[in-house]
Amino acid sequence: MTDPDVLSLPLPDARARDAIIRDLDDNLLVEAGAGSGKTTELVSRMLALLESGVADVDRIAAVTFTRKAAGELRERFQVRVEQRLAQERSEGRSEDLVAERLSAALDNIDRAFIGTIHAFCARLLRERPLEVGLDPAFEEMAVEERIMQRRRFWQAYLERLARDSDPVLEELAQAGLRPASLYGLFEHVVENPDVSFEAEAADPPPPPEVAAVRAELEALVDHAWELMPDRQPEKDWDSLQKKIRTLHFTREITGWDSQADLFEAIATLCKQGTRGHTVTQNRWKNGQMAKGVAERATAFGVGDTPARKLVSRWYAHRYALAIRLVDHAAREFAAHRLRMGQLDFQDLLLLTAKLLRESPRVRRDLGERYSRLLVTSSRTPIPCRRRSSSCWRRSPRTPWRKRRTSRPTGERSCLDPARSSWSAIRSRASIASVGRTSSYTAS
């Protein structure tokens, strides 16, 4: 079924689809499920821009998030322009203005920007690298290369800390954190450069409070130990017995001398939720008394108890230390990439957003070059992608205004991709909402 065939059928979201090809001077935000006709409507809008003379082909930029989508869009756009031109000619309107416009567009079709957001950003940055402190000969790094570089940088960073005997290493050691084990956190922070992680310093819990909780734990372990059988029960130790054995063992070995060991011990009896500790009575020397141990352990570490509060404070302290280190490393890593002129995809987006945010001249030039910008978003939006595209709106402070379509249910959820067949489009899929913003000129 060809596009012109299907477009002639009445659809429940016809008004929204009409707005896409009619309201050419409005910024539109279109939300739609998979297979509902987004690309078709985008191409229709590009065509309408050309036919109406609102924009010449070289003033249109259509931005996608993947190379595949860009390739598909380029091809579909060209085919539609050719089809429309052929139609005009076959109906004897070769000399008309619309045909002339379409013909000119076809001649210059390569001058439209149809590509990925990364290519678009790279193009902008190449024109003005110095404004964001970038080496003009910068390179875009492939994903695999970037992963290797991240690992290498982290190792070199830790080596540098060790070589300089950085005091942070001592702090981490006291908190029971091995720097090498923080690589996952480093990765996470590097991959989310537009998220600010809270790193407010949190002191470890004060010694008197810790001493009181320690005394309670010691007494509990001693009491429970007396009630433990000498041999492993036939059906294994119950869960509380396993914990008491761990506690007894670690105290023997480490004496819970360091804060890290002590808090690990306290945390052993702390549980989330409200379900307390339980025992299997016949596995203890004295079942009734074992029940009492479980009650004590519950009072110690389940719910809003002093021990739980201390553990939370301890974790907050450790987290702040870890984030502080990792955040610093991530910032150094970003600066290193900038210095070396080796950018990853996130860098391209963030630096472009910065360039547009900080330079009215760049915004104006962009607006002059491309009078119409069309962006197809991914199905999994990433904050910085949204942020970089919001910079292209005329007024970033103008909120998106959405308009519901006439869809009877008013439902706006995405549709199951598996249902994106033609019959599903007719019955289920729709351009779920179309909103407007002030018109784009980036001026």
In angstroms, the CA 85 to CA 47 distance is: 11
Least CB distance from residue 413 to ligand ATP, whole Å? 14
Q: How many CB atoms lie within 10 A of CB 18?
A: 11
Subset of 21-60 contacting Mg ion (CB under 5 A): 38-39
Question: Which does residue 338 touch among ligand ATP, Mg ion, none (CB within 5 to 8 A, set by kind)?
Answer: none
According to CB under 6 A, which one of 23, 26, 29, 40 is a site residue for ligand ATP? 40
Q: Which is nearer to ligand ATP, 66 or 443 (CB)?
A: 66
14-21: list long-range contacts, CB under 8 Å, 24+ apart: 14/406, 15/405, 15/406, 16/403, 16/405, 16/430, 16/431, 16/432, 16/433, 16/434, 17/41, 17/431, 19/434, 20/44, 20/45, 20/431, 20/434, 21/45, 21/47, 21/48
- Does residue 119 belong to the site contacting ligand ATP (CB under 6 A)? no
Q: Which is nearer to ligand ATP, 60 or 329 (CB)?
A: 60
Question: Which does residue 36 touch among Mg ion, ligand ATP, none (CB within 5 to 8 A, set by kind)?
Answer: ligand ATP
In angstroms, the CA 300 to CA 214 distance is: 11
- Does residue 415 belong to the site contacting ligand ATP (CB under 6 A)? no
- Does residue 37 belong to the site contacting ligand ATP (CB under 6 A)? yes
Question: Which does residue 217 touch among ligand ATP, Mg ion, none (CB within 5 to 8 A, set by kind)?
Answer: none
Least CB distance from residue 427 to ligand ATP, whole Å? 12
The token duo for 97 is 């203005």
Least CB distance from residue 376 to Mg ion, whole Å? 7
Q: Which is nearer to Mg ion, 11 or 322 (CB)?
A: 11
- The beta-strand segments (E) located in 109-244 are 113-116, 139-140
Read out DSSP for 70-99?
HHHHHHHHHHHHHHHHHHHHHTT-TTSHHH
263-268: list long-range contacts, CB under 8 Å, 24+ apart: 263/176, 263/310, 263/311, 263/314, 264/176, 265/217, 266/213, 266/214, 266/217, 266/301, 266/307, 266/310, 266/311, 267/311, 267/314, 268/243
Phi, psi angles (nearest 5°) of residue 304:
-90, 60
Q: Which is nearer to ligand ATP, 1 or 137 (CB)?
A: 1
- Does residue 424 belong to the site contacting ligand ATP (CB under 6 A)? no
At 346, the amino acid letter reads Q
Q: Which is nearer to ligand ATP, 400 or 422 (CB)?
A: 422
- Does residue 7 belong to the site contacting ligand ATP (CB under 6 A)? yes
Q: How many residues make contact with Mg ion (CB under 5 A)? A: 2
Subset of 318-357 contacting ligand ATP (CB under 6 A): none
Q: How many CB atoms lie within 10 A of CB 364?
A: 13
- Does residue 374 belong to the site contacting ligand ATP (CB under 6 A)? no
Distance spanning both ends of the chain, measured CA to CA: 42
Segment near ligand ATP (CB under 6 A); pick from 6-14, 47-55, 84-92, 325-333: 6-14
Radius of gyration of the chain (CA): 32
- Does residue 11 belong to the site contacting ligand ATP (CB under 6 A)? yes
Question: Which does residue 442 touch among Mg ion, ligand ATP, none (CB within 5 to 8 A, set by kind)?
Answer: none
- Does residue 425 belong to the site contacting ligand ATP (CB under 6 A)? yes
- Does residue 301 belong to the site contacting ligand ATP (CB under 6 A)? no
**How far is C-alpha 144 from the geometric centre of its chain's CA atoms?**
19
60-64 and 372-375 beta bridge pairing: parallel
Question: Which does residue 425 touch among ligand ATP, Mg ion, none (CB within 5 to 8 A, set by kind)?
Answer: ligand ATP
Q: What's the burial of 285, exposed, middle or buried (CB within 10 Å: 0-12/13-18/19+)?
A: exposed
In angstroms, the CA 239 to CA 250 distance is: 17
Q: Which is nearer to Mg ion, 76 or 291 (CB)?
A: 76
Q: How many residues make contact with ligand ATP (CB under 6 A)? A: 15
According to CB under 6 A, which one of 21, 24, 29, 34 is a site residue for ligand ATP? 34
The token duo for 119 is 């290519």
Q: Which is nearer to ligand ATP, 6 or 109 (CB)?
A: 6
According to CB under 6 A, which one of 26, 29, 39, 89 is a site residue for ligand ATP? 39
Question: Which does residue 301 touch among ligand ATP, Mg ion, none (CB within 5 to 8 A, set by kind)?
Answer: none
Question: Which does residue 193 touch among ligand ATP, Mg ion, none (CB within 5 to 8 A, set by kind)?
Answer: none
- Name the residues that contact Mg ion, by CB under 5 A: 38-39
Which residues bind to ligand ATP, rule: CB under 6 A? 3, 6-7, 9, 11, 32, 34-40, 422, 425
